[in-house]
Amino acid sequence: MRLSPILPGTRPELAAQEAQIIAERGRISPLYQVLLNSPAMAHGWEQMLSAVRNRNSLDAGLRELVILRVAVLNDAPYEFDAHVPHAQRAGQSAEAIEAIRSETLSLDAPWTAAERVALRLTDAMTRSIVVSDALFAQVRTHFDARAQVDLVATIGAYNMVSRFLSAFEIGH
């Protein structure tokens, strides 16, 4: 790890913030221990990522597939491993999770049509940033306006997470 983590309970001025993180996440992970070096960033991060994870209109299984895909594309194994249990609890099969690891999305993978479109959007946003009009037209056929915002925000947020993890070598 490139930055010393703030161990929970070692800084009294962070007690309320640590309690909030625990309330939302159940623990203070190594990611949040690094973020706590900047309390304002940790607060904003926790607010945004809690909304993405816990107040999202997307089906939890679809949301977790997207998060896993971003982790694969950005070579963020810590993030992938952290979200496999969430994907499993959301009903994703071992086969569906394993198929996410492929360089190219498989047409034979056990995903719904909406999941396939969401994963293609994930690949486009993560690999090239640009999303074609044709792909976004497909997104519109499966997702209403709120779900479109939630899907794009989820992809963008987890690109941020994986890049933060990688830069600080968290979980390496």
pLDDT digits (tens, 9 = 90+) for 14-68: 999 999 999 988 999 999 999 999 999 999 999 999 999 989 999 999 999 999 9
Sign of the C-alpha dihedral computed for residues 142, 138, 79 and 17 taken in this order: negative
Measured CA to CA, the distance from residue 63 to residue 69 in angstroms comes to: 10
Judged against a pLDDT cut of 90, whether residue 106 lies above it is answered with no
Please give the model's pTM, rounded to 2 decimal places: 0.93
Q: For residues 88 and 68, is the Cβ–Cβ distance under 8 A?
A: no
Q: For residues 24 and 54, is the Cβ–Cβ distance under 8 A?
A: yes
Task: Give the residue among 114, 63, 56 at the shortest CA–CA distance from 92.
Answer: 63
pLDDT in tens, 109-153: 889 999 999 999 999 999 999 999 999 999 999 999 999 999 999
Which domains occur in the chain, in start order? 12-54 (no CATH), 60-167 (1.20.1290.10)
